[in-house]
Amino acid sequence: MCGICGIIGSTDDRENILKHMMKAIEHRGPDGSESYISKRAALGFQRLSIIDLDTGMQPMFNEDGSKALVFNGEIYNYWILRDMLIQKGHAFQTDSDSEVLLHGYEEFGTDLLIKLRGMFGFAIWDEENEEFFAARDFFGIKPFYYSIIGGVLVFASEIKSILEYPGYQRQLNEDALEQYLSFQYSALPETFFKGIYQLLPGHYLTYKDHMFQVTGYFKPSLKPDRAESVRRMQKDVQNIMKQSVRRHLISDVEVGSFLSGGVDSGLIAAISGCVRTFTVGFSEEGALYDETEDARHLADTLHLKNHCKYIEKKEFEKAIPKVMYYLDEPSGDASAIALYFLAQRAAKDVKVVLSGEGSDELFGGYNIYREPGMLKAVNWLPVNARKKLAKLAKGLPKSVKGRGYLMRAALPVHERYIGNAYIFREEEKARLLKRDVMRQTKDLLCGIYDETAHLEDFEQMQSVDLRYWLPGDILQKADRMSMANSLELRVPFLDWDVFQTARKLPKRMKLKHCTTKYILRKAAACYLPKPAASRKKLGFPVPIRKWIKEEDWYQNIKKTFSNDTARAYFHTEYLLELLEEHKEGNSDNSRKIWTVYVFLIWHQIYFGDCKECKTSKQQAVIRFDTLTAFDYNGNRECTARG
């Protein structure tokens, strides 16, 4: 695991620029750094040593030195590929998985990608042909960003590295803000920074003679097999999970595991036998926000050691700006901050952890997937009748039970579902944003819904989450929060073979009565005690709903909602109305409030008027240790202080 960056093209002072770019992502790889400078390319590498500790340094070169590689991730089937390539005449200089990519690309070209089992964002520069190639893994576990600046291609594992390139002029992408307000994460190929793009999951990029092309090589799609038997699929899931976890344990350093007490992390911990497990919770906020007792009990049952971190309200506040800095783009997912503390705790003892991301998207774990079945109670009514009921329901107070149910029942799935989060609807965004809404959120997803029209509603919902929610929210925060603490996070559920099995699951093996992830729970029952295997999904609960009502948070959020930045983008009277409604208990607006609030904090960090912050974001973030989020009110004054 590491951080990579580079410059392809001619520009002055490349060596010094590259150093600054590498420094910005030093947290991704504090164990060492190296660079390569040629006539047309400059590649940088920050290393977190996991495999082949002695000789796995990068940039790495092929036999004649004509091709150079920088790679972020892990390839779990590299020994198989290595033997194959040796038989074809390639000579290896190291035992690292990185070198397999270099020789594999020489031998197979872009066909290499579908042979890989792992997580990756890598780049190869061909000095002889002056050609650049980069690729990102199937599901988007590892990031890759790029920009064309003055005819020069600049790339990196994180946006903050590209921001160090002096030719880039920061400009907020308001299209990204518009969609963020609904999705709660950056949902577009172009990031929050105008002109900086993410390479999408399952895509590769080529660049030669100032011409670049992005090509998709993989798209996750569901192909349910209605004839599959429960017994056979249960056995298949058990076997592939054992194989996947075993692959994900490949390491020359100790591997630990996150543990929540539920089925996903519990199954991984049980199969792996990792000695150390890690959990966080909010012990002062009640059982709803604290999974530590369940995790501790499960660890004792599995004879594993559990390390627990209790997060206090004050330290949570203090971490908000730091988390927004490491995320690069704003995220309305409050669990990112809890995950930051979890990764921080784990990094004290291990360099690698296993985690359960991807299980819900593959096996049907989100409670919202039960909604199509619940709506059947009124679906027998004609559409016009349902629309009339929805219109009546819309006029009722938000607190009336069943109001939302009747409103959703009038809409087809492609109009009511954009993912696990739907923060602001179109009419709400129109009230909130100063500029006109330029693009309907549902229009972004029309391609997916067209492709999956033959599937059942909940399978269409799954497909949306696989393509958008998983890489945009779940994996983005997992990568940034782990790497912010120089910790490698591995996700055994997002394995090629696991996906090939899960995509065949029919509805009855994912949702049965009120049970989600039915077949996974049956498979896990062989490894876990019944309470863990059957435990209802909680997600990663964070008590912001409660904290926003408390006077200190309320007053500081109110102040932030009235600052210059808020007034520049939003109709602040509407923001304050949402805040008052929540404070009085008339409506739960916590997710709306939080989504806007953290955007404003993020904006102050990356676009604020603090001269020192503009000069060096890396120096500014160090000062976050002495600040809380409430210092960031965006009133055009320097907030970075010693």
167 and 40 inside one domain: yes
Instruction: Look at residue 388 in the predicted model and tell me its pLDDT.
Output: 84
Instruction: Look at residue 630 in the predicted model and tell me its pLDDT.
Output: 61
Assigned domain for 180 exists: no
Instruction: Look at residue 619 in the predicted model and tell me its pLDDT.
Output: 44
**What is the CB-side half-sphere exposure of residue 91 using CA atoms within 13 A?**
6
Average pLDDT over residues 283-298: 80
The conformational region for residue 273 under phi > 0 = left, psi -120 to 50 = alpha, else beta, is left
Summarize pLDDT for 239-259 with one digit per residue, the tens.
999 999 999 999 889 999 999
Average pLDDT over residues 277-292: 81
Whether the CB-CB separation of 85 and 93 falls below 8 Å is answered with no
101 and 137 inside one domain: yes
* pLDDT above 50 (res 634): no
Summarize pLDDT for 21-45 with one digit per residue, the tens.
999 999 999 989 999 999 999 999 9
Residue 563 tokens, joined = 């600052």
Instruction: Look at residue 105 in the predicted model and tell me its pLDDT.
Output: 97
Instruction: Look at residue 371 in the predicted model and tell me its pLDDT.
Output: 92
* pLDDT above 90 (res 391): no
Can 5 be counted among the known catalytic residues? no
549 and 522 inside one domain: no
Assigned domain for 144 exists: yes
Q: What is the 3-state secondary structure (H, E, C) of 438-472?
A: CCCHHHHCHHHHHHCCCCCHHHHHHHHHHHHHHHH
Instruction: Look at residue 286 in the predicted model and tell me its pLDDT.
Output: 64
Could you tell me the CA-to-CA distances from 552 to 281, 508, 555, 634 in Å, in that order? 22, 48, 5, 17
438 and 524 inside one domain: no
Average pLDDT over residues 360-375: 94
> Higher-confidence residue: 314 or 227?
314
* pLDDT above 50 (res 636): no
Look at residues 38, 102, 42 and name the one whose alpha carbon lies nearest to residue 71.
102
* pLDDT above 90 (res 386): no
What is the CATH number for 316?
A: 3.40.50.620
pLDDT interval class at 611 (50, 70, 90): very low
Instruction: Look at residue 74 in the predicted model and tell me its pLDDT.
Output: 95
Return the residue matching tokens 């029209």: 453
Assigned domain for 221 exists: no
Domain that includes residue 441, residue range: 367-421+430-463
Instruction: Look at residue 1 in the predicted model and tell me its pLDDT.
Output: 64
pLDDT interval class at 615 (50, 70, 90): very low
Instruction: Look at residue 384 in the predicted model and tell me its pLDDT.
Output: 87
566 and 614 inside one domain: yes
29 and 132 inside one domain: yes
* pLDDT above 60 (res 620): no
- Burial of 459-480, coded b for 16+ CB within 10 Å and e otherwise, reads bbbbbbbbbbbbbbbbbbbbbb
Instruction: Look at residue 616 in the predicted model and tell me its pLDDT.
Output: 43
Average pLDDT over residues 295-310: 93
440 and 560 inside one domain: no
pLDDT interval class at 538 (50, 70, 90): low
What is the CATH number for 141?
A: 3.60.20.10
Q: Return d(Cα 613, Cα 599) in angstroms, integer.
A: 17
Average pLDDT over residues 111-129: 97
Among 52-56, 107-111, 188-192, 609-613, where is mean pLDDT lowest? Answer: 609-613
* pLDDT above 90 (res 237): yes
Average pLDDT over residues 200-205: 98
311 and 280 inside one domain: yes
Return the residue matching tokens 């020489």: 106
Mean pLDDT rounded to a whole number for the chain? 91
324 and 344 inside one domain: yes
* pLDDT above 70 (res 622): no
Instruction: Look at residue 57 in the predicted model and tell me its pLDDT.
Output: 82
Assigned domain for 182 exists: no
Q: Is the bond into 492 cis (omega within 30 degrees of 0)?
A: no
Assigned domain for 538 exists: no
159 and 294 inside one domain: no
Assigned domain for 578 exists: yes
Assigned domain for 19 exists: yes
Share of the chain above pLDDT 90, in %: 77
Summarize pLDDT for 59-76 with one digit per residue, the tens.
999 988 899 999 999 999
* pLDDT above 70 (res 629): no
Whether the CB-CB separation of 143 and 489 falls below 8 Å is answered with no
* pLDDT above 70 (res 613): no
Return the H-helix or E-strand segment holding 255.
strand 255-258
Q: Return d(Cα 283, Cα 262) in angstroms, integer.
A: 18
Q: Bridge-partner residues for 35, per DSSP?
A: 44
Picking from 504, 533, 562, the residue at the C-terminal end of a domain is: 533
Q: Return d(Cα 199, Cα 191) in angstroms, integer.
A: 10
Average pLDDT over residues 569-598: 96
> Higher-confidence residue: 54 or 93?
93
Q: Please count the structural domains in the chain.
A: 4
Helix (H, G, I), strand (E, B) or coil at 369: helix
pLDDT interval class at 623 (50, 70, 90): very low
Q: Return d(Cα 208, Cα 204) in angstroms, integer.
A: 14
Residue 375 tokens, joined = 């709506």
Summarize pLDDT for 397-435 with one digit per residue, the tens.
877 888 888 888 889 999 999 999 999 999 999 999 999
Crossing angle, helix 371-379 and helix 457-464, to 10 degrees?
140
379 and 441 inside one domain: yes
The secondary structure of 74-130 as a DSSP string is: EETTHHHHHHHHHHTTPPPS-SSSHHHHHHHHHHHGGGGGGG--EEEEEEEEETTTT
Whether the CB-CB separation of 319 and 626 falls below 8 Å is answered with no
Summarize pLDDT for 132-157 with one digit per residue, the tens.
999 999 999 999 999 999 999 999 99
Look at residues 505, 527, 526 and name the one whose alpha carbon lies nearest to residue 516.
505
Q: Bridge-partner residues for 516, per DSSP?
A: 511
* pLDDT above 90 (res 48): no
Instruction: Look at residue 270 in the predicted model and tell me its pLDDT.
Output: 96
Picking from 484, 505, 533, the residue at the C-terminal end of a domain is: 533
Crossing angle, helix 98-108 and helix 78-87, to 10 degrees?
50
Look at residues 51, 57, 3, 63 and name the one whose alpha carbon lies nearest to residue 27.
3
Assigned domain for 201 exists: yes
579 and 602 inside one domain: yes
Instruction: Look at residue 621 in the predicted model and tell me its pLDDT.
Output: 46
pLDDT interval class at 533 (50, 70, 90): confident
